[in-house]
Chain A
């Protein structure tokens, strides 16, 4: 043990900043929140142990929890496939050899850099405002746009469009994946009388499956965690009529508006378990539709 210390101490000294950060900022809060999720805690008084009461209440009585689940799942189920399909479509266009690809790539990637920021969410709010740009354009063509943001029928869709607009990073990954498919397979398929649809479904999709899977998991996790857009556009409350009550927004409100830290921690853990479960399902089904080229067997 002493010998081990003497030999490795310098390494640990160098690792220390990272290790301290990791334990202080990641492991400790995680464990603390797990503990807090079994307590009632309003920040002022010390936490009070209540067992599984938080979880019980959540599933049995909290209709806003169920509403937030519904909003979040609707968002995930629509925005993730829409974003992936859009990203793949753009990647395929770029792959077809448009000139100045580098320039377009940068242009298309830009929204992804900006997209997560508060500024863009605010911009989005102004675009879709009743007197915003979108409706001005509609009016110019004689239409009359609805209250995009304050009508619960449309509000979630503006966020879905915002999510799809941030297609840059899955698009770049798709583009790299497409470039890795040997051209002569398409030529062989051409001679084998495969039309464009057949080439896409019989060659592109199966060979791109690992990349599709990677993007799917990444985007799914991202979508479950998505927060800032909904927070800004709904004014921090999930309004109108809770139609933008994303799970994360609800959690934020429980924690920082009502200071129900114990309950918020429980919500956080439920979100974690949901994400973990869906990721696990994705991995489990992947063995039926994702085939890795370099794997034997």
Chain B
């Protein structure tokens, strides 16, 4: 188990900067998830920690040791690739043993570790097969097995579940979470998948265009996003945004009405008001009633997503229980409450209470 510390890490491919000076402290034993839009540099960051990619500036330390110039093999870490990267000509057993053989570990120790990993991942019956004879889920298990036999102080995962179908994904997610509880090793995990990030992470790092937007627990990120980007990126379906101007302790939303601001929101100039779809109520019970017309209903079983066209031209997405009787084209009244909303200034920074630790 080891902590990982990145200080002002910079990376450019040629003269295209990709990572713009990232500071990040990963605690020992933490499950840190990196999320961000495609191309924001998640894989690059992970590969720099792994030692597969050189860094242009700054330092990376694993534990107390600065590893900038240490080759990947000496960083005592394992990596699971999105493509699995299993050696196609070796049996599962040899795939697992390959790294240990290279470290010149005694034979019986290798076989003990391989057997143990096979037992944990339930791949014992597959040990003599070649990777092409395995299903996607089985390959993924072998890839994870290859990572755990090393007994490293740090695991790196680059979208390990993204090639699996939805059901297998959920299953492997649960297994990975179990594995983490059992090993307690530091993990850094890259994903596109909101659910994976929210369920598995002890902390999430939101990355955007090579800079860290916010680091926090899933609870903090969901309830106290520090800027517009994080607010709209975390949470599915996406947070609604309404533009308003503030005066006299209230926000005037153009063409809709006035929303009284909760205490602690300094009222000055334009604000963006963010409301999550599940925090918009149907009917008029909140601080501000908003009339509109249903333009689309998506039925998901346990819940429905209702797209509401407002008179002002904006569209709100509302999440309602699955048994709500709402039809296309109907007029509808929505209501929002000031204390449930998020407020962002003209620069997109959060106004009001910053995240407290989850109580």
A residues near B (Cβ < 8 Å) are 182, 184-185, 187-195, 198, 202-203, 206-207, 291, 293, 296
Q: In this assembly, does B300 line the interface, its C-beta being within 8 Å of a C-beta of chain A?
A: no
Kindly provide the distance from the CB of B250 to the nearest chain A CB, expressed in whole angstroms: 56
User: Is B102 in contact with A193, judged by CB distance below 8 angstroms?
Assistant: yes
Interface: B87 (CB within 8 A): yes
Binary A-proximity of B90-102 (CB < 8 A = 1, otherwise 0): 0000000011001
Q: With contacts A293-B88, A296-B133 known, is A193 near B73, CB below 8 A?
A: yes
In chain A, what residue has the closest Cβ to B97?
A192
On whether the beta carbons of B72 and A191 are closer than 8 Å, the reply is yes
Rounded to whole angstroms, the CA-CA distance of A63 and B355 in the bound complex is 96
Check if B71 is an interface residue, CB within 8 A of chain A. Answer: yes
Please give the residue numbers on chain B whose beta carbons come within 8 Å of chain A beta carbons, in ascending order. 50-52, 71-74, 77-79, 81, 83, 85-89, 98-99, 102-103, 132-133, 146
* A202 contact set on B, CB distance < 8 A: 87, 98
Q: Which of chain A's residues have a CB closer than 8 A to the CB of B77?
A: 191
Partner of A193, one of B81, B103, B146: B103
> Which B residues touch A191, using CB under 8 A?
50-52, 72-73, 77-79, 99
Give A97 to B121 CA distance when docked, in angstroms.
Answer: 39
Contact of A207 among B78, B79, B88, B98 (CB under 8 A): B88
Interface pairs (25), CB distance under 8 Å: A184-B81, A184-B85, A187-B52, A187-B72, A187-B85, A188-B85, A188-B86, A188-B87, A188-B146, A190-B51, A190-B52, A190-B71, A190-B72, A191-B50, A191-B51, A191-B72, A191-B78, A191-B79, A193-B103, A194-B102, A195-B102, A202-B87, A206-B89, A207-B88, A293-B89
Main secondary structure of the interface of B (DSSP, over half): mixed
Closest chain B residue to A207 by CB distance?
B89
Residues in chain B near residue A184, CB distance under 8 A: 81, 83, 85
Are B73 and A203 interface neighbours, CB within 8 A?
no
Q: How many pairs of residues, A versus B, come closer than 8 Å at their CB atoms?
A: 63
Known: A202-B98, A293-B132, A296-B133. A190 touches B89 (CB 8 A): no
- Expressed in whole angstroms, the minimum distance between the Cβ of A118 and any Cβ of chain B is 44
Which residue on A lies nearest to B98, using beta carbons?
Answer: A192
CA distance A187 to B99 in the complex (A): 12
**Residues of chain B with a CB closer than 8 A to A193's CB:** 73-74, 99, 102-103
- List the B side residues contacting A182 at CB < 8 Å: 83, 85
Residue from B50, B83, B88 whose CB has the most chain A CB atoms within 10 Å: B88
Q: Assess whether B99 is in contact with A192, with CB atoms less than 8 Å apart.
A: yes
Docked CA distance A184–B53 (Å): 12
Chain B residue at smallest Cβ distance from A185: B85
Given contacts A190-B51, A194-B73, A293-B132, 4 further A-B contacts (CB under 8 A): A187-B52, A189-B98, A194-B99, A194-B102
Inter-chain contacts of B102 with A (CB < 8 A): 192-195, 198
B98 partner residues in chain A, CB cutoff 8 A = 189, 192, 194, 202
Cβ B132 vs Cβ A185 within 8 A: no
* Complex: A195 Cα to B102 Cα, angstroms: 8
Q: Which of A188, A194, A206, A296 contacts B132 (CB 8 A)?
A: A296
Contacts of B73 in A (CB 8 A): 190-194
Least CB distance, B100 to chain A, in whole angstroms = 9
Chain A residues near B86 (CB-CB < 8 A):
188
CB-based contact A291/B85 at 8 Å = no
